[in-house]
Chain A
Amino acid sequence: MTSYIYPKFGYRRSQEQAEGIVKRHPIVVVGAGPIGLTAALDCAARGQPVVVLDDNDTVSIGSRAVCYAKRPLEIWDRLGCAAPMVERGVSWNVGKVFFRDQMSYQFDLLPEADHQWPAMINLQQYHLEEMLVARCRANPLIELRWKHRLLSLKQAADHATLAVETPDGIFPMEAQWVIACDGANSDVRKMVGAEFTGQFFQDRFLIADVAMKADFPTERWFWFDPPFHPGQSVLLHRQAGNIWRIDFQLGWDANPEEEKRPERVIPRIRAMLGEDTEFALEWVSIYQFACRRIDNFRQGRVLFAGDAAHQVSPFGARGANTGVQDIDNLAWKLAMVLRGDASEALLDSYHEERAYAADDNILNSTRATDFITPKTKPSRYFRDAVLELARHHGFARPLVNSGRLSTPTPYVTSALNTPDHDAMMVGMRPGTNAADAPIAVDGKPGWFLHCLGDGFTVVAFGKVSDKTEIAVGPFAAKLLLVGRDIEDPTGVLAQRYGASPGTTYLFRPDQYVAARWSGFDEAKITEAVLRASGHDTADRTELAA
């Protein structure tokens, strides 16, 4: 039943190491996990050459991150790789919550209609990374350097110097910007001396990938205090290709080395699945988690993303999902700075917006952890009371928290937003990610998000202008008119955006709403584009003149 053969990507000596010349790269990404690979794809999609360093030469060992939500799928679709992920992954909607020997309740995450991508897919991290690597290899702007270990990093005013060790020895590299995606134990974070603080949880979890041909449905099953694992919680989740993910809460006193041994793990799984289920253990790991974040996502020339910047408990699938959104936020800003279309100040908004999202994720994941692992006897009574009441009464079900599944955090307080001038406007507030909708172009069905451009895009409802773009200082925003460039045959687009004739939205390059108006006004659009690209008021007046 064991299925997966780990690819070996192979080390190659770089030309700069062979020739002994120090080369300055615009962007160096450290870490080729899902976040580092996404960073490479997004920077390359925005025209920037990228070098990725990884100390290994294969994909993640074990399934690790398992659930990928709609927003990351939309981002990966922008980067041309969502379709194979969804094809390979499994989609699920039904979740069941059990308390002791009975089902407490079940829920159906019925996805909202009229979206291209499902609410959530499950896919082992190694499959996902392999797809991202394939996509990176096909891109001439991306160079993946395996078996390249970063030894040290020194910052100068306009670049960083990296000492890198390969099988051929140590050599120096320079980078205008470094994106650190080297995980929760980030060496880069230690090298720059950043603070990484928060809350540690006194609990341990055993996670196992199990291959089995069982007729469990494709659902998320979560047990509180089950007879086969008393006093603790258990999660069962299906992945691609008959692989199941099982998480056992072990408690703080468990001995990690002891618990990892197959002779300890197999009886636990057998007790859960029953004597007759045939299974094979593929991978086991023990983890202890923390909710922490870095003090600043930007440390000089180094930008932190993913677990290197923030760590959350796994309940709610908020690790990889939020890391991908870090990159979505960062890549366009970095590309604008490198092109000279924006000042470095724009990168400070990366910290502002993504630290805000990280804090939201940490809040949600801390709350789930407090429910799953009550810290005191009275809080356990409340937790159990919720689960008992949920079996009979609808009111208690929203209180059950086995992890709130990841959704994007709107940047409601961001300085890049232009505040609404009209308090009566409905639809998408500035700072929210654009909702998708079915549309048509030249009579052919398509999706709204595909119409948004690589740069800023203005979408107006009605034939309000003859132009196809709006010049803004050194660059231009694409202008799309609903009724001229795209059609809204179902009316879903207008409904989701609360649009009437004249309604105008400004989208950022990461598909977030920067501003909106009830009428079309070029001067206001210009001002909002400049604000959303980090230009201060004096700057905006000069550029708009």
Chain B
Amino acid sequence: MMLYLSPNIADPDDFYAELINSQRDLDEEQALRMNARLILLLANHIGDRKVLTEAIGCARGGGG
């Protein structure tokens, strides 16, 4: 499988709002800690090592 880069989230505005709102009352440190947990949860859900490597590379490269 390849890293999926086309739109895949059903309700993008709602998802984005949920993500931002989930950190609204956190300070920066708490938010960064939460991000780390979130990345690990999502990475495990994906599982596929090739996809994870691709995603890490894509993110590291500025998302391009």
Contact = CB atoms under 8 A, between A and B. Distances in A.
A399 interface: yes
A396 B33 contact: no
A381 B32 contact: yes
Interface centre among B32, B40, B41 (most CB of A within 10 A): B40
A225 interface: no
Contacts of A441: none
A57 interface: no
A374 to B, nearest CB: 11
Interface string A481-515: 00000000000000000000000000000000000
Contacts, number: 25
Interface in B5-64: 32-33, 35-37, 39-41, 44
A385 B44 contact: no
Interface centre among A385, A389, A396 (most CB of B within 10 A): A385
Contacts of A395: 44
Contact of A386 (B32, B35, B40): B40
A29 B9 CA distance: 67
Q: How large is the interface on B (under 10, 10 to 19, 20 to 34, 35 or more residues)?
A: under 10
21 contacts: A378-B32, A378-B36, A381-B35, A381-B36, A382-B36, A382-B39, A382-B40, A384-B33, A384-B36, A385-B33, A385-B36, A385-B39, A385-B40, A386-B40, A388-B37, A389-B37, A389-B41, A395-B44, A396-B40, A396-B44, A399-B40
Contacts of B32: 378, 381
Interface string A365-393: 00000000000001001101110110000
Contacts of B36: 378, 381-382, 384-385
Given A378-B36, A381-B35, A386-B40, 11 more contacts: A378-B32, A381-B32, A382-B40, A384-B33, A384-B36, A385-B40, A388-B37, A389-B37, A389-B40, A396-B44, A399-B40
Nearest to B33: A381
Contacts of A381: 32-33, 35-36
A386 B37 CA distance: 7
A396 B35 CA distance: 15
A385 B33 CA distance: 7
A384 B39 CA distance: 13
B23 to A, nearest CB: 14
A378 to B, nearest CB: 7
B37 to A, nearest CB: 4
Interface in A57-115: none
Contacts of B37: 385, 388-389
Interface residues of A, number: 11
B35 to A, nearest CB: 8
Contacts of B41: 389
A378 B59 CA distance: 15
A388 B39 CA distance: 13
A8 to B, nearest CB: 55
Nearest to A381: B36
Interface string A381-414: 1101110110000011001000000000000000
Contacts of B40: 382, 385-386, 389, 396, 399
A384 B33 CA distance: 8
A382 B44 CA distance: 14
Interface in A330-386: 378, 381-382, 384-386
Contacts of A384: 33, 36
B3 to A, nearest CB: 20
A378 B60 CA distance: 14
A99 to B, nearest CB: 13
A378 B39 CA distance: 12
Nearest to B44: A395
A126 to B, nearest CB: 43
A400 to B, nearest CB: 12
A396 B43 CA distance: 11
A399 B47 CA distance: 13
Contacts of B33: 381, 384-385
Contacts of B39: 382, 385
Q: Across chains A and B, which 3 residue pairs bring their CB atoms closest together, nearest first?
A: A385-B36, A381-B36, A385-B37
Interface string A146-164: 0000000000000000000
A354 to B, nearest CB: 29
A43 B36 CA distance: 52
A389 B36 CA distance: 10
Contacts of B44: 395-396
A296 to B, nearest CB: 33
Contacts of A382: 36, 39-40
A350 B48 CA distance: 37
A445 to B, nearest CB: 44
A385 B37 CA distance: 5
A384 B35 CA distance: 12
A385 B44 CA distance: 13
A395 B40 CA distance: 9
A84 to B, nearest CB: 45
Interface string A202-227: 00000000000000000000000000
Interface string A313-341: 00000000000000000000000000000
A384 to B, nearest CB: 7
A389 B37 CA distance: 7
A384 B30 CA distance: 12
A395 B44 CA distance: 7
Nearest to A382: B36
Contacts of B35: 381
